[in-house]
Amino acid sequence: MSLADQLDGLGLRHAGSHLDDIIDQATKKRWSPAQLLEHIADHESQERKRRSVERRLAASRVGRFKPFGDFDWKWPKHIDRDAVESALRLDFLERSRNVVLVAPQGLGKTMLAKNIAHNAVMAGHSVLFVTAAQLLLDLAAQDSARALDRRLRHYCRPALLVCDEIGYLSYDNRNADLLFQVVSRRYETKSLVLTTNLAFTDWPSVFPNATCAVALIDRVVHHADVIAIEGDSYRKRDAEADVKARRKRPPS
């Protein structure tokens, strides 16, 4: 077995794959044994951190998103910038608080939620991003109590769970109970980020006839920073701007 293979087998993957370059560099610079070991240790540490971030990003299912640096703060009619920036700094995670983003469609609440999730991954936290529809469809599909408990533990395991788009569909009592179980298991121990297009007073319309609706809202907001964004849709604004731009173009 070659030295490169032995290093790789010991978990020193960077050193194994770059062995010739490391030896060449050490020879040219006349490194001492300690300097060589310091170089290998430093690069292995950096490589492991990079792979760890990649694994957490893949597991988070955040997907593609627009960086919040591109957010137009002047467009919303109302937004608490301090609260948004605090959420992006992950201040809420330290105390296992929740963040609830309330806004009409097209005002950037999903983009903000994904930026919060990404920042949490980069800070070393485990994260899972899922829509409310995906979460409830998954839980409702479990065919035994043991399987359901296993999936509930899956959604309770990450340090941060982001549940997107609560309020776009109505759910029956079974789905309301499932969401209540997720919220209850994470209550006061791990953080949630929820996005919704409805005020809390309208949540009972999402879970009609569900006896747990009030208890669900109570547990979500008990330790939560509620960030309301008001205004007109960005997407509608951009679409109208595209139409105007096309009208101004001279015919070819």
Give me the CATH number covering residue 136: 3.40.50.300
Q: Let me know if residue 45 belongs to a domain.
A: yes
What is the rounded average pLDDT of the residues 84-102? 96
pTM of the model: 0.82
Q: Let me know if residue 250 belongs to a domain.
A: no
168 and 56 in a common domain:
no
175 and 87 in a common domain:
yes
The yes-or-no verdict on residue 206 having pLDDT over 60 is: yes
Looking at residue 216, what is its pLDDT? 86
Q: Let me know if residue 73 belongs to a domain.
A: yes
92 and 37 in a common domain:
no
Confidence category of residue 251, pLDDT binned at 50, 70, 90:
low
Chain position carrying tokens 């509620």: 226
205 and 157 in a common domain:
yes
Q: Let me know if residue 244 belongs to a domain.
A: no
Provide the domain limits for residue 39.
3-60
The yes-or-no verdict on residue 240 having pLDDT over 60 is: no
pLDDT > 90 fraction of the chain, expressed in percent and rounded: 58
More confident residue, 187 or 204: 187
What is the rounded average pLDDT of the residues 109-138? 96
Average pLDDT, the chain: 89
Alpha-carbon distance values, 168 to 162, 165, 195, 198 (Å)? 16, 6, 10, 9
73 and 16 in a common domain:
no
Q: Let me know if residue 247 belongs to a domain.
A: no
127 and 11 in a common domain:
no
Looking at residue 90, what is its pLDDT? 97
Looking at residue 95, what is its pLDDT? 93
More confident residue, 119 or 244: 119
Confidence category of residue 234, pLDDT binned at 50, 70, 90:
low
Distance from CA of residue 71 to its chain's centroid?
A: 17
The yes-or-no verdict on residue 125 having pLDDT over 80 is: yes
Q: 173-186 and 145-156 helices cross at what angle (nearest 10)?
A: 50
Chain position carrying tokens 């030896």: 23
What is the rounded average pLDDT of the residues 48-74? 90
82 and 194 in a common domain:
yes
The yes-or-no verdict on residue 10 having pLDDT over 60 is: yes
Q: Let me know if residue 245 belongs to a domain.
A: no
Beta carbons within 8 Å of 102's beta carbon, 6+ residues apart: 109, 195, 196, 197, 198, 199, 226, 227, 228, 229
Confidence category of residue 199, pLDDT binned at 50, 70, 90:
confident
Q: Residue 115: exposed, middle, or buried by beta-carbon count in 10 A (0-12, 13-18, 19+)? A: buried
213 and 163 in a common domain:
yes
pLDDT digit string, tens, across residues 130-171: 999 999 999 999 999 999 999 999 999 999 999 999 988 778
**Domain stops at, among 60, 82, 108:** 60
The yes-or-no verdict on residue 204 having pLDDT over 90 is: no
173 and 141 in a common domain:
yes
CB burial string 193-223: b at 16+ within 10 A, e below = bbbbbeebeebbebbeebebbeebbebbeee
Task: Write 4-7 long-range contacts (CB < 8 A, 24+).
Answer: none
Q: Let me know if residue 219 belongs to a domain.
A: yes
76 and 54 in a common domain:
no
Q: Let me know if residue 251 belongs to a domain.
A: no
Beta carbons within 8 Å of 238's beta carbon, 6+ residues apart: none
Looking at residue 75, what is its pLDDT? 87
What is the rounded average pLDDT of the residues 42-70? 91
Chain position carrying tokens 């920036």: 85
207 and 148 in a common domain:
yes
- Structure-derived torsion over alpha carbons of residues 73, 127, 98, 114, reported in degrees to the nearest 10: 20
More confident residue, 170 or 88: 88
Q: Give me the number of domains the chain comprises.
A: 2
Looking at residue 235, what is its pLDDT? 60
Length of the chain, please? 252
What is the rounded average pLDDT of the residues 176-204? 91
